[in-house]
């Protein structure tokens, strides 16, 4: 049901109902006797979390949805890491059996070793390995998601690259694996080593995301989401819980698949994502060839006349549309044009906005028909037969430098071929570079005209002008 906006709400409600049943079952359907105070603590924690989550989700603006997704994903990673810390201490709290006289009870020792070897149907070593995997992956997901949230929020709006960053990061990642192996193998023992591993994993999560430029953030969100799923799957192995295992695998595999789709959409190999070759090009505002030519500006009246007498108009939404909260106005513009016999479609780039599907969700909120949202591969052949393309707040996803300039950091990235349309109108607040930090060749195209101003204000004036043309 989540694959279509018309049924996505119902799908979410069913998922919530399923999670509620899972929580009830986990709390009340078990064999062990639990003191009433434990129930009180659990239900109190659920109450606090429910109120916090509900209030946060209700208040968040659509422009802040990527940040919310990132922070909620980080909470899942934190849960997996905390579970691993607790379970490691449980494994180490087996008391040595003794006889009434104070000597060692060999029979009891044999039974204890049997129990330790079969916890959750796994060997002691295998369970310890799952604990370490959940700890490392969950910690990386949590720390990385917090940094991603800060970047999306604008708190950390510039990539930071340390000297020999790739080598340093890869050494740190290898060190995590070696340290975790030594703990599992028994070469180092004690809770202090586990806490040190926890701290090192948090550091790597920060180091992994910190240097990445904003243009690459959709890929990072997808990758961290898959990490959280893998951490949850480790918990499923650890507890021999098939439901937890299945859910974690589903989230991990879906996140990995989405990461591959995002990599393809941004022309970045997955190895670059994993080994930190991100953002090097994103930070160079002057990268690529120097652009020359004239930039034309168009008035609201001229834009209205051009669109009113068109046969086909394609709208390209971007993050600027979300920032201005202009999704309802653009739907009104669509309705007015269609009433006058103009065919209207929306061209959706896979990484438009700040996360995968951001524009789809934004436009669905204003009741734009899902059938009008056309993916990049399907819409690109239609631009040559389009009278007017209206680009609202999008930048890098329509930059012809991806085709024309081998020196550009986005060269090879699949884009929307809006330059093939007969007329192009770009609505932007200013001539500032996009999220990738590079200038847009499209602005200098002779067929292009700039409509400067806040998207909501400009589109509202455009709608008023069209209404006055009755």
The residue among 269 and 424 whose pLDDT is bigger is 424
Q: Which residue has the higher pLDDT, 379 or 108?
A: 379
Rounded CA-CA distance 299/291 in Å is 24
Give the pLDDT confidence of 163-188 residue by residue, as tens digits.
777 788 889 989 999 999 998 888 88
Cα separation, 461 vs 211, in Å, equals 40
Coil, strand or helix at 448: strand
> DSSP 3-state assignment of 325?
coil
Using CA of residue 452, residue 405, residue 352, residue 205, what is the dihedral sign? negative
With 50 as the cut, is the pLDDT of residue 86 above it?
A: yes
Nearest to 298 by CA among 434, 188, 159, 447: 447
Q: For residues 250-261, give the mean pLDDT.
A: 87
The stretch 348-364 carries a mean pLDDT of 79
pLDDT recorded at residue 434: 57
Task: Render pLDDT for 387-445 as a digit per residue (tens, 0 to 9).
Answer: 999 999 888 889 888 888 787 777 778 889 999 999 999 998 876 665 556 778 889 89
Residue 277 in this model has a pLDDT that exceeds 70: no
**Which tokens sit at 455?**
């998207």
Active site residue 470: no
* 344 or 364, which is more confident: 344
Q: Does residue 49 have a pLDDT over 70?
A: yes
| Measured distance CA(250)–CA(225) in Å, rounded | 11
CB atoms closer than 10 angstroms to residue 135: 28
Give the residue extent of every domain in the chain. 63-274, 300-468
Element (H, E) at 391: strand 388-392
Task: Please give the average per-residue pLDDT across 91-110, as a whole number.
Answer: 55
pLDDT at 99 over 60: no
Residue 313 pLDDT = 95
16-37: pLDDT as tens digits: 899 888 888 878 776 667 788 8
Exposed / middle / buried, residue 302 (Cβ in 10 Å: 0-12, 13-18, 19+): middle
Classified as helix, coil or strand, 366 is: coil
**pLDDT tens digits for range 309-336:** 999 999 999 888 888 888 899 999 999 9
**Structure-block tokens of residue 64:** 């802040």
432 versus 352: which is more confidently predicted? 352
Instruction: Measure Cα distances from 158 to 4, 86, 152, 341, 437 in Å.
Output: 35, 37, 11, 46, 10
CATH topology of domain 300-468: Rossmann fold (3.40.50)
Find the Cα–Cα–Cα–Cα dihedral 363, 368, 374, 376, rounded to 10°.
Answer: -20
Q: Is the dihedral of CA 137, 143, 146, 150 positive or negative?
A: negative
Tell me the percentage of the chain whose pLDDT exceeds 90: 33
As a whole number of angstroms, the distance between CA 291 and CA 170 comes to: 37
Give the model confidence (pLDDT) of 190-225 as tens digits. Answer: 889 999 999 999 999 998 888 776 666 777 888 888
- Choose the catalytic residue: 216, 302, 396, 405: 396
- Average pLDDT taken over every residue of the chain: 82
> What per-residue confidence (pLDDT) applies to 96?
46
SS3 label, residue 54? helix
Q: What are phi and psi of 448, to 5 degrees?
A: -95, 145
The rounded distance, in Å, linking the Cα atoms of 75 and 81 is 10
Closest C-alpha to 418, from 334, 317, 293? 317
β partners of residue 424: 389, 448
Q: Taking a C-beta distance cutoff of 8 angstroms, is the pair 139, 234 a contact? A: no
Mean pLDDT calculated for residue range 48-76: 86
Residue pair 358/63 in contact by the 8 Å Cβ criterion: no
Residue 122's pLDDT is: 60
pLDDT of residue 111: 61
Alpha helix segments (H runs only) across 355-412: 358-365, 376-379, 401-404
Task: Decide which of 163 and 257 is more confident.
Answer: 257
Task: Identify whether the C-beta of residue 333 lies closer than 8 Å to the C-beta of residue 368.
Answer: no
pLDDT at 67: 82
pLDDT of residue 459: 93
- Residue 26, both tokens: 């986990």
Residue-wise pLDDT for 283-293, tens only, equals: 444 445 566 66
Give the SS3 label for residue 89: helix
Structural element, H or E, at residue 392: strand 388-392
Asked if 320 and 433 touch (Cβ cutoff 8 Å), the reply is: no
Q: State residue 198's pLDDT score.
A: 94
Is 177 strand, coil or helix?
Answer: helix
């Amino acid at each position: 049901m989540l694959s279509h906006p018309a049924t996505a709400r119902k799908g979410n409600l069913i998922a919530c109902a399923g999670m509620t049943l899972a929580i009830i079952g986990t709390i009340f359907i078990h064999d062990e006797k639990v003191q009433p105070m434990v129930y009180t603590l659990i239900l109190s924690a659920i109450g606090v979390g429910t109120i916090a989550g509900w209030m946060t989700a209700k208040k968040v603006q659509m422009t802040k949805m990527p940040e919310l997704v990132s922070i909620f994903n980080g909470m899942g990673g934190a849960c997996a890491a905390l579970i691993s810390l607790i379970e490691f201490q449980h494994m180490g709290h087996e008391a040595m059996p003794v006889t009434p006289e104070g000597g060692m009870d060999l029979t009891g020792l044999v039974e204890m070793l049997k129990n330790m070897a079969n916890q959750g149907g796994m060997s002691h070593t295998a369970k310890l390995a799952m604990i370490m995997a959940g700890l490392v992956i969950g910690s990386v997901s949590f720390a990385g998601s917090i940094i991603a949230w800060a970047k999306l929020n604008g708190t950390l709006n510039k990539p930071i690259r340390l000297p020999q960053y790739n080598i340093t990061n890869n050494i740190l990642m290898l060190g995590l694996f070696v340290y975790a192996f030594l703990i599992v193998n028994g070469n180092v023992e004690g809770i202090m080593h586990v806490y040190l591993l926890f701290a090192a994993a948090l550091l790597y999560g920060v180091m992994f995301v910190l240097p990445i430029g904003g243009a690459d953030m959709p890929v990072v969100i997808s990758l961290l989401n898959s990490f959280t799923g893998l951490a949850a799957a480790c918990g499923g192995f650890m507890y021999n819980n098939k439901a937890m295992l299945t859910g974690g695998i589903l989230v991990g595999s879906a996140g990995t698949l989405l990461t591959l789709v995002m990599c393809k959409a941004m022309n970045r190999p997955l190895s670059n994502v994993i080994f930190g070759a991100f953002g090097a090009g994103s930070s160079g505002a002057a990268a690529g060839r120097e652009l020359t030519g004239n930039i034309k500006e168009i008035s609201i009246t001229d834009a209205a006349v051009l669109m009113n007498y068109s046969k086909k108009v394609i709208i390209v939404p971007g993050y600027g549309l979300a920032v201005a909260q202009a999704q309802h106005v653009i739907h009104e513009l669509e309705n007015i044009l269609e009433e006058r016999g103009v065919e209207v479609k929306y061209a959706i780039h896979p990484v438009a906005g700040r996360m995968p599907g951001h524009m789809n969700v934004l436009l669905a909120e204003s009741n734009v028909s899902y059938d009008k949202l056309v993916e990049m591969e399907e819409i690109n052949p239609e631009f040559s037969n389009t009278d007017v393309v209206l680009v609202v707040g999008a930048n890098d996803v329509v930059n012809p430098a991806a085709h024309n300039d081998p020196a550009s950091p986005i060269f090879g990235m699949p884009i929307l071929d809006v330059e093939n349309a007969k007329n192009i109108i770009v609505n932007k607040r200013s001539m500032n570079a996009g999220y990738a930090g590079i200038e847009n060749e499209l602005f200098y195209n002779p067929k292009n005209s700039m409509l400067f101003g806040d998207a909501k204000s400009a589109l509202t004036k455009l709608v008023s002008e069209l209404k006055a043309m009755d």
